[in-house]
Amino acid sequence: MLRIEKGGTSNLIVTVKELTTLQSLKYLFEFEHQQSFDKIYCILTNISTNTERYDEFTIIDGVDVTFPYDGFYVYRIYQQESDSNLDPDLSDGLVEVGRAHVYVTDSPSNVYDETINFNIYE
């Protein structure tokens, strides 16, 4: 399962190379929210230095893609040579399917340091 920070930068580690049949390519990512079924798309480049073992992508919420909701998504990764196509039907094939969790980082709670005085009355 991929974990993606809402409003932040996240590294995605997947294994798309084993099913990829093209040479020079970009990957089309599709994220489908599991409750609303809204789909969002982005194109990312593989930045892995060791593609024999894994593939790494960096995604920035608000720049590469904007997730409308936090929660669980189904992700699909398609191989393609185009760096502008956002239609999975025009891609060159599906290479991976999985689940992603988009989470919101907890903000610190307001903690107050207040002196408590105990008075004893007799």
Evaluate if residue 76 carries a pLDDT over 80. Answer: yes
Which pLDDT value is given to residue 24?
67
Q: Which helix (H) or strand (E) element contains residue 42?
A: strand 39-44
The tens digit of pLDDT for each residue in 79-104 reads: 999 889 999 999 999 999 999 999 99
Calculate the CA 17 to chain-centre distance.
18
Is position 108 within any domain?
Answer: no
The tens digit of pLDDT for each residue in 9-65 reads: 999 999 998 888 887 688 999 999 999 999 999 999 899 988 888 999 999 999 999
- Start-to-end CA distance of the chain, whole Å, equals 63
Is position 110 within any domain?
Answer: no
- In this prediction the pTM is 0.83
Is position 31 within any domain?
Answer: yes
- Is 88 in a helix, a strand, or coil? helix
Is position 61 within any domain?
Answer: yes
Query: What CATH number did the domain enclosing 88 receive?
Result: 2.60.40.10
Is position 52 within any domain?
Answer: yes
Q: Look up the domain containing 68 and give its range.
A: 2-103
